[in-house]
Structure 1
Amino acid sequence: MNAKMINQIVDAVGGADNICSVVHCSTRLRFSLRDEKKADDAKAQSIPGVLSLVKKGGQYQLVIGNDVDLVYDALIQKYPQLQKDQAPKQAVPAKKKGIVNAILGAITGSIAPVVPLLAGCGMGKVLLLVLVMSGLLTKASSSYILLNMIFDTGFYFMPAFIGFSAAKMFGCNAFMGGFIGLAMVHPTWTGLVAKGAPIDFLGVPVLLAKYSSTLIPVLLSVWIMSYIEKGVKKIVPGMVKVFLEPMLIALISVPLALVCIGPLGNLLSQAIADGSMFIYGTLGAVALAILAALYPWLVSVGLHKALSPISIMLVAQQGFDPVIRVVALCSNMSQAAAALAVAWKTKNKALKSLAFSSSMTAYLGGITEPAMYGVNLKLKRPMYGCMIGSGIAALFAGFVKLKAFIYVTPGLLSMAMWIGEDENFILQALITLVIASIATFIATIMIGFEDPEENKEEQA
């Protein structure tokens, strides 16, 4: 990775000392800055290799594209201190960022690092299902049992992964965050839940709730733990803090999580999932079409990540997601088709090459940021084509009751996500893909766009 690019990025965000932490998702570097005013937006957007800048959820996000992991690795290699657990207490206070931004930043920052693991385990479970359907494996075989255990691990222990990641976001001990998540899925706890017999803690009744494959309970628990940790650190003498601090934090945080916070988070999770299904059941295809038409703009500002917990919860609780992943499929394919239309119509050779390659990336892997920020959003009008095509495709998807059975980014390479143990929606998903592509392509060609002139100096 070009060292010059790393230097330019660090300089644009205000220097290494201005960075509290940095993580990355599938296409973006996500910075938490101490003072966002020190960052130079124009300089950041002018860096070769940076497709766009998004400031959302308290994060300073540079859209890189498919090579974001290489950029991140090079950044950490040069500035290893950025990968250490650092409390963002020196950052701009959350109240200045806004409550909504602070909440969205905490949710997306906690979930984004875990999403690749969930997607990989989800695709593994689908692969296992295909092997059984093809007769290559049987559910009674030891090979199936071991493989199923491997891919179940990602979902069963999801609270531990989320707890570890959330602790970094809230500026507390990451291992204690993971500890809380593990306590919520401990065999003793799951055994008590399975028995269903009433229990209490020091005379206080405890609601028996299943926390495996959940997000919100552990997020809330680690958030509260971050304040408990600060309080404990103030009162524990230095000579005994190595064992007394973690003991007190665990003694306070875990019972609080199991008695109060966890049940509250579980009810909130269920309410969100039930609310999503109610809206879907009431408005159906119309609701999908409206959300799909808006989804390209949600992606452009990073708000689509706030919908990820809903999708994950639906898959965990219902066994399928008929809303968020379906809308993502329609939107992703419309972005790909709009970029393909631009590649077809433009006379600019550089734009044609970029549009075609980014279109293929979106079609195959569902990674739309290169197509969106590099082509469609820059030209503006193709985004309207995306809205039209995505909305039309969602109407069909809602009509045929399309369902996704795992949480993964929709694309041609992840079509297995539409296969369940008892249902198969691959054909409906392929038709939805074709509708989104054709409708968007035609709409983009008809709406048109201002074709940029060839830069002769760059061409030379």
Structure 2
Amino acid sequence: MRIDPTVTAAAVLPLVGGPANVVSVAHCMTRLRLGLADPTRVDEEALRSLPGVLGLVVDDGSYQVVLGPGAVTQVTSALEALLAAPTDGEPPDAARGELAGELAARGDLLREERRRRNATPLKSALRRLANVFVPLIPALIGCGIVAGVNGLLVNAGLLPWLTPALAAVASGFMALIAVFVGLNTAKEFGGTPVLGGAVAAIVVYPGVA
């Protein structure tokens, strides 16, 4: 669903403390960058829940609202127009706050609808499988890189005193990968991680055969 950038800008403004709290407005390719007089006035939880807001980054007092390419330029222009517009009487922060609440509620409904669509048995099974194996990927990549470097050194005949250590490092994790799979499996399915690792270790122990 496409979100009107003017509506998004009007919803963001009261959540960052209102016009008086905004010192500077800029943007990069994906982020709306706001300089604020008083960062403590930001309602971070409500800001993150707005439809169209993909995230929030705080960097050296600068609040960066992640909106994505394309949308960020439109929202920035709309926000600058709101800040430049003269206001008579009381600032309409209360009305904008109500709008922000409505957008947050719509965002919650969209997320709940997306969660229901993704709650099929097949997707749930794939998600659980991913939760078991995806955390192991960085270690697998690291071991692969070490094994590759070790192979180059062995073939080139270089650093023969180092290659046995590299081979041990590259092979150590792979030798015990079943234990880590058991740990993650137990955590994912609500078991005791240590017992999951113990069962996996027993299964792959050579003496079991």
Provide the TM-score with structure 1 as the length reference.
0.22
Whose strand proportion is higher, 1 or 2?
2
Give the structure with the higher percent helix.
1
- Larger-gyration structure (1/2): 2
- Relative contact order (C-alpha < 8 Å, sep 6+): which is higher? 2
